[in-house]
C-alpha cells in the first residue's frame, strides 16, 4: 500500500510511473517513430480494415516461468475449478481425489471454487473463460493464486444466460478470452447485466454522431455498418446458441467463420511486422478501432505475451467486427498519447506476500496493473482501456 501511494504522489509531481519490468511513457513530446521509450517501444502499426494494432517490444523482459496460466493448469489437472456446493470430491487429471469445500448450500452464478495443486503460483486474467458446470463463466478480476493455498471462492461472471444444468460440476480450459466490450464489464464495471448485454450485442461502443448538414450541404452519411450485425447475432443465438453461450456465438457457424478469416489476415500482417526483431521481444499491443485508440495489454515477458496472444488477437477481432467499419487509421502518436500516465482516483487491493492489484481511473480511461510480490516483484500484466460507458 505504501509503495502504491508513493508512486501516485511521484506520478502526480513528476509524470513518472513504476511498472516493475515495464516503463511507461509520460505526456512528453512525441519522440518519433521507432525511438525507444524507457525499456520498450512501439513498432509501426499493423492495420487491416477497421482495426490497427501497435506491437509493443522490449529489449529487457522479466523471467515469468515461475507462474502457471489458467489454460495450462486446467489442461494438466493441476488446477480444479468447480461449482460451489458441489459433491465433496473432485478428481485431478491423474485420478487423485480432491476435497472441494462447500462454501454454501448450492451453486452460485457469481462464485466458483478454485484449487491450485501445482508447484507454481497461478495467474488469472479478467475475461478468461472456463466452460462446463451449470453455465460458462469468465474470471472477474486479475489475480494470483499462491502455491499450496486452500481452496478458495473465485469471483466470476456468467456468459451463458440460458443454462443452469450440467453433467459435471467441474470446468475445463476453453482457451478463450472474451472480447473487450465484455471484458470491460467484468474487469472495470463489475456488472453482470452489462456482461450479458455485451455478449448479446457484440460491442457496447457507440457509433460516432453524424454531423447535421449545413445550408446547401447534405448531411454526413451514416456510419458504415458492423460486419457482425445485431441481426446476425440474434440469428446465431436463435439457431446455434439458444443458451447464449459465448463460445457457441463467437467461435462457430457464421460468426465464427467471419472471425476466423479476419484473425488469419491480422496474424499474417502482425507476423510480418514483427519478423526479424534483434535483441527485442514483443511484450504487448495497443489496439485502435477506426481512428480511436481503445485498448492495451502489456505483459512482463515475451513468453507470457505469446501464451495469451492467440486468444487476445481473436478477442480484438471480434470487437472490430462488431463495431462500425470506420476506415480511419490511428497514428503512432495517438498510441503514445493513449499510454500517458494517468492522474486520477486510485484503488489498491493486496493479498500480503502474494500480489497487489491497482486500478487508476481518469475520465473514461482505466488502468489496471497486477503486480506479483513473490517469488519475484514484477508487474505481470498491465491493462489500459478507454471505457465504452
DSSP string, 96-142: -EEE---SSSS-BTTEEEEEE-SSSPEEE-TTEEEEETTS-EEE-S-
Q: Please list, in sequence order, all residues whose beta carbon lies within 8 angstroms of the beta carbon of residue 85, skipping any fewer than 6 positions away.
A: 102, 103, 104, 105, 106, 107, 108
Beta strands 97-99; 143-145: pairing state: unpaired
Would you state the cell numbers that stand for residue 111, as one nine-digit string? 462464485
Q: Higher pLDDT residue, 160 or 37? A: 160
**Residue 389 — very low, low, confident or very high, per pLDDT cuts 50/70/90?**
confident
DSSP string, 236-258: HHHHT-TT-BHHHHHSSHHHHHH
The pTM of the full predicted model, rounded to 2 decimals, is 0.85
Summarize the confidence of residues 209-238 as an average pLDDT: 79
Summarize the confidence of residues 303-332 as an average pLDDT: 95
Residue 107 pLDDT = 78
Residue 142 lies in a domain: yes
Most confident range (mean pLDDT) of 3-12, 191-200, 214-223 is 191-200
Summarize the confidence of residues 261-276 as an average pLDDT: 97
pLDDT at 15 over 80: no
Residue 125 pLDDT = 98
Average pLDDT taken over every residue of the chain: 85
Residue bearing cell 502489456: 298
| Total domains present in the chain | 1
Cis before residue 191, ω within 30 degrees of 0? no
Q: Higher pLDDT residue, 326 or 57? A: 57
Residue 34's closest CA among 349, 344, 335?
335
Q: Tell me if 171 sits within 8 A of 192, measured CB to CB.
A: no
Would you state the cell numbers that stand for residue 146, as one nine-digit string? 499462491
pLDDT at 74 over 90: yes
Summarize the confidence of residues 109-134 as an average pLDDT: 95
Residue 126 lies in a domain: yes
Residue 334 lies in a domain: no
Residue 94 pLDDT = 54
Residue 230 lies in a domain: no
Residue bearing cell 507454481: 120
As a whole number of angstroms, the distance between CA 343 and CA 15 comes to 9
Residue 197 pLDDT = 95
Which residues are bridge partners to 350 per DSSP? Answer: 356
Beta strands 365-372; 355-362: pairing state: antiparallel
Q: In whole angstroms, how far apart are CA 323 and each of 122, 194, 245, 319, 330?
A: 34, 17, 20, 6, 15
pLDDT at 205 over 50: yes
Residue 34 lies in a domain: no
Residue 84 lies in a domain: yes
Summarize the confidence of residues 273-293 as an average pLDDT: 95
Residue 253 pLDDT = 87
Residue 309's closest CA among 352, 274, 346?
274
Q: Sort residue 276 into left (φ over 0), alpha (ψ -120 to 50) or beta.
A: left
Length of the chain: 389
> Tens digits of per-residue pLDDT, 332-365?
999 999 998 899 999 999 999 999 999 999 999 9
Residue 39 pLDDT = 79
Residue 7 pLDDT = 38
Calculate ∠ Cα 181-165-135, nearest 5°: 15
Residue 202's closest CA among 221, 178, 224?
178
**Residue 98 — very low, low, confident or very high, per pLDDT cuts 50/70/90?**
low
Summarize the confidence of residues 149-172 as an average pLDDT: 90
As a whole number of angstroms, the distance between CA 176 and CA 128 comes to 6
The residue range of the domain holding 76 is 68-177
Residue 321 lies in a domain: no
Amino acid at each position: 500500500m505504501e509503495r502504491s501511494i508513493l508512486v501516485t504522489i511521484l506520478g502526480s509531481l513528476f509524470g513518472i510511473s513504476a511498472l516493475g519490468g515495464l516503463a511507461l511513457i509520460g505526456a512528453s513530446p512525441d519522440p518519433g517513430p521507432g525511438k525507444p521509450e524507457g525499456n520498450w517501444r512501439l513498432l509501426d502499426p499493423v492495420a487491416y480494415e477497421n482495426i490497427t494494432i501497435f506491437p509493443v517490444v522490449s529489449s529487457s523482459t522479466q523471467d515469468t516461468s515461475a507462474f502457471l496460466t489458467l489454460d495450462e493448469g486446467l489442461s494438466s489437472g493441476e488446477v480444479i475449478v468447480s461449482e460451489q456446493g458441489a459433491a465433496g470430491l473432485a478428481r485431478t487429471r491423474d485420478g487423485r481425489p480432491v476435497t472441494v469445500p462447500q462454501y454454501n448450500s448450492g451453486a452460485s452464478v457469481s462464485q466458483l471454487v478454485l484449487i491450485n495443486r501445482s508447484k507454481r503460483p497461478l495467474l488469472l486474467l479478467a475475461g478468461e473463460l472456463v466452460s462446463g458446470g451449470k453455465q460458462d463463466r469468465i474470471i472477474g478480476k486479475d489475480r494470483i493464486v499462491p502455491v499450496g493455498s486452500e481452496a478458495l471462492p473465485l469471483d466470476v461472471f456468467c456468459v451463458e444466460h440460458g443454462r443452469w444444468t450440467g453433467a459435471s460440476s467441474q470446468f475445463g480450459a476453453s482457451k478463450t478470452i472474451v472480447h473487450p466490450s465484455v471484458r470491460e464489464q467484468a474487469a472495470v464495471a463489475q456488472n453482470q447485466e452489462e456482461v450479458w448485454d455485451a455478449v448479446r450485442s457484440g460491442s457496447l461502443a457507440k457509433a460516432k454522431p453524424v454531423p447535421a448538414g449545413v445550408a446547401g450541404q447534405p448531411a454526413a452519411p451514416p456510419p458504415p455498418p458492423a460486419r457482425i450485425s445485431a441481426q446476425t447475432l440474434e440469428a446465431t443465438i436463435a439457431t446455434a446458441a439458444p443458451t447464449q453461450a459465448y463460445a457457441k456465438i463467437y467461435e462457430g457457424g457464421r460468426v465464427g467463420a467471419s472471425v476466423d478469416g479476419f484473425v488469419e489476415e491480422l496474424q499474417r500482417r502482425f507476423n510480418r511486422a514483427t519478423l526479424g526483431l534483434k535483441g527485442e521481444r514483443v511484450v504487448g499491443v495497443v489496439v485502435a478501432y477506426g481512428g480511436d485508440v481503445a485498448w492495451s495489454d502489456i505483459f512482463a515477458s515475451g513468453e507470457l505475451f505469446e501464451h495469451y496472444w492467440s486468444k487476445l488477437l481473436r478477442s480484438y477481432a471480434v470487437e472490430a467486427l462488431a463495431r462500425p467499419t470506420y476506415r480511419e487509421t490511428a497514428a503512432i502518436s495517438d498510441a503514445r498519447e493513449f499510454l500517458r500516465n494517468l492522474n486520477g482516483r486510485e484503488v489498491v487491493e493486496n493479498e500480503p506476500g502474494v500480489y497487489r492489484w491497482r486500478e487508476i481511473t481518469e475520465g473514461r480511461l482505466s488502468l489496471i496493473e497486477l503486480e506479483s510480490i513473490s517469488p519475484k516483484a514484477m508487474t505481470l500484466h498491465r491493462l489500459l482501456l478507454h471505457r465504452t460507458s
